[in-house]
Structure 1
Amino acid sequence: MEDRKRDHIDLAFSSRLEAKHADNRFDYEPLFGTHHKTEQEFHFAGKKMRLPLWVSSMTGGTKRAGTINKNLAQACAEFGLGMGLGSCRILLDSPEHFEDFNVRPIMGNEAPLFANIGICQLENMLQDGSSDKLAELVDKLDADGLIIHINPLQEAFQPEGDQLKRPALELLQEYLENTTMKIIVKEVGQGFGYASLKQLLQLPIEAIEFAAMGGTNFSLVELNRSDAVAAEVFNPFIHVGHTAEEMTHMVNKLVDELPLEAIQAKQLIISGGISSVLDGYYLTSISKLPAFYGMGSAFLRHAMGDYSKLRAFVEKIDQSWSLATNFLKVKQA
């Protein structure tokens, strides 16, 4: 106790916080909660989660990515999270990489797991009549469904990128008419605008994942791989997009405007620039659709080495969610 009190004296002046830094999204109510963790249960794609937290798609197809995926899967199993795999395109041509993605044995059967493919790959498969391979891929991975990522700017900036020949909406509509799989549609770092969200909400899909501005921007990733001229000319495009908060408000507006029977998308994964538990707690609380929050790069930083580092990180997230739900109330607009 004496050491703790000495720390209090030593740190008092360096621990001052100006009122201008207050987080005004919440009422702090310290009288009504306890430190006891409230056990919660969330449902996604017929599976159960203990935290409304989604491990957003990141990587796959290399030995290093295999280590990352296995660490993330172990965290999902231990803490009850859902997970989207990185692009599984390589498995369609190179099945020797299967073990880099084979995380269901680690996750167990309770947590939701989704495979992942790009819209350009879907277009090619629809064109040549091989889209049934996607269901085979999902079955082989023992996944609960398929993420289709929409990335026209990333493909345009990628030196070896593919070219869309038909609008993504047409491709999604065609595929959804011919599959019974659960589908998530996501962007890759710039989010969706109002008109795109309006169309997505009316598709029979499991979820819309925002992958909004503010997180990892895969268009910028590709520009950083490009030559200097491409980087100079295309750079303004990386600043175009929508934040997670902006998109949450857009969806709320659309929920009010669209007829109830027109909304077929079941839920949201609010991701992109979610840098803290409080961001996720706030946005999922104000969403008018059932919502989870997703994080990608935050997990990636802790998942590259020994699992113990990732475990310590997720344990603190778990504790933070409990503190938020026990002591914070979201202010009503």
Structure 2
Amino acid sequence: MGMSKPVFSPDSFELAQRKKDHIELTHKSKTSAATVDGRFDYEPLFFTHPTPNDTWSSTFLGFTFDFPIWVSSMTGGIEKAKTINQNLARLCGEFKLGMGLGSCRPLLSGQERFDDFDVRKYLGDQPLFANIGYAQVEDLCQADKFSLLHEMVKSLTANGLIIHLNPLQEWFQPQGDKFQVSPLIVFKKFLEEATYPVIIKEVGQGIGPKSLKALLDLPIAGIEFGAYGGTNFSLLESLRSSDEGEYKKPFIHVGHTALEMVEILNALPDKKKEFIISGGMKTVLDGFELKSRLKAPSVIGMASTFLGPAQEDYSVLRAHFMEMKEALLVAKKILNLKENQ
């Protein structure tokens, strides 16, 4: 009778190399207590490593997500927009995420760029939201032509509309659109007609407490933070401009971080809305913390992290997301937000 196969049969060369690496890298692998991430309790006793089939099932606006990730609005009407949007839509369809299109403004004046945005077939039943700037909504309000927005949403087979509220971006932008009517007034008029869910978002400054409270009183489906600390479109427009804008530049740095917005919302009763937490999240742990902290239904909005991979082959974007989702699952399995945080 032959000997039974040992339970452990490590590759001797691989094991030796690993131990050699450990010895050589030990002096480079020291940490300081000052660098510990104090936001979380680390609970290794209850952990199992995620498998490729593990999900973090979530619901948002009545849709089922395999992971609480929203692909935030990015681009439209440029050369690579079609490739980017199709790849992002494929990702959302495969992993059951949600997606906001980039600004669909070109579709209000013609159908030449329609193919850039026509991605419903890639998403299946996952949520797809069209996107338009507040300035265009104001123009259509004054012209009594909200029907153009309704037709746009319908033509894209979108589930709803995101309106990006960006007064500082427009102010910084050369030939930017100037707001002539309070957005609150225009939103109320628009929402009287809209028969689909509407989300209001900022684009890098976040939203303050009075505005958040007023938005919560409107019949909208949700709010996307677009918080300070990530891509800032006021700064972006400043960089595009040849005008130094000495008196404008300090306004780049006003606004509200995602953490501040979470704290504001948690202090408000009866929110009855859902939220896309976006802006300023540098790591998966930032998104995990903010979602854990917000006392309302939410998903984590990501944009810039997907933009580079989405311009490549779909396999590049998919591999990028596989790493992201694994890290998110590890966080969910092994970390708890500290009670005193």
> Which residue number corresponds to residue 324 of structure 2?
317
Please identify runs of 4+ aligned residues in structure 1 that moved more than 6 A: none
* Largest Rg, 1 or 2: 2
Query: Secondary structure of 1:95's match?
Result: coil
Output one character per residue of 1:17-58: Cα deviation in whole Å (capped at 9) or x when no partner: 211111111000000121144433222233221111111111
Contact 1:210 1:272 in 2 (8 A): yes
> Which residue number corresponds to residue 2 of structure 1?
16
Distance 1:233 1:301 in 2: 33
> Which residue number corresponds to residue 67 of structure 1?
83
Query: Secondary structure of 2:64's match?
Result: strand
1:84 aligned to 93, 100, 109, which one?
Answer: 100
Distance 2:200 2:320 in 1: 28
Contact 2:60 2:297 in 1 (8 A): no
1:155 aligned to 145, 149, 170, which one?
Answer: 170
Contact 2:65 2:98 in 1 (8 A): yes
- With normalisation by structure 1, the TM-score equals 0.94
Contact 1:82 1:113 in 2 (8 A): yes
Distance 2:174 2:67 in 1: 39
Alignment of structure 1 residues 121-160 onto 2, 5 Å? 121-160=136-175
1:300 aligned to 293, 307, 310, which one?
Answer: 307
Pair 1:327 & 2:329 matched: no
Distance 1:15 1:71 in 2: 38
> Which residue number corresponds to residue 128 of structure 2?
113
Which structure features the higher share of helix residues?
Answer: 1
Pair 1:23 & 2:37 matched: yes
Q: Where in structure 2 are there 5+ consecutive unaligned residues?
A: 1-14
The amino acid that maps onto 1:312 is A
The amino acid that maps onto 1:137 is M
Output one character per residue of 1:274-313: Cα deviation in whole Å (capped at 9) or x when no partner: 1211111111111111111111111112212122221111
What's the C-alpha RMSD, in Å, of the aligned pairs?
A: 1.3
Query: Secondary structure of 2:227's match?
Result: coil
Contact 1:33 1:326 in 2 (8 A): yes
> Which residue number corresponds to residue 248 of structure 2?
234
The amino acid that maps onto 1:223 is S
1:272, CA displacement in angstroms?
0.2
Q: Percent identity?
A: 51
Alignment of structure 1 residues 174-213 onto 2, 5 Å? 174-213=189-228
Query: Secondary structure of 2:46's match?
Result: coil
State the number of aligned residues.
Answer: 324
Distance 2:128 2:58 in 1: 14
1:71, CA displacement in angstroms?
1.4
- With normalisation by structure 2, the TM-score equals 0.92
1:322, CA displacement in angstroms?
1.1
Distance 2:244 2:49 in 1: 55
Output one character per residue of 1:141-195: Cα deviation in whole Å (capped at 9) or x when no partner: 1111000010111111111211111111111111111212100000010000111
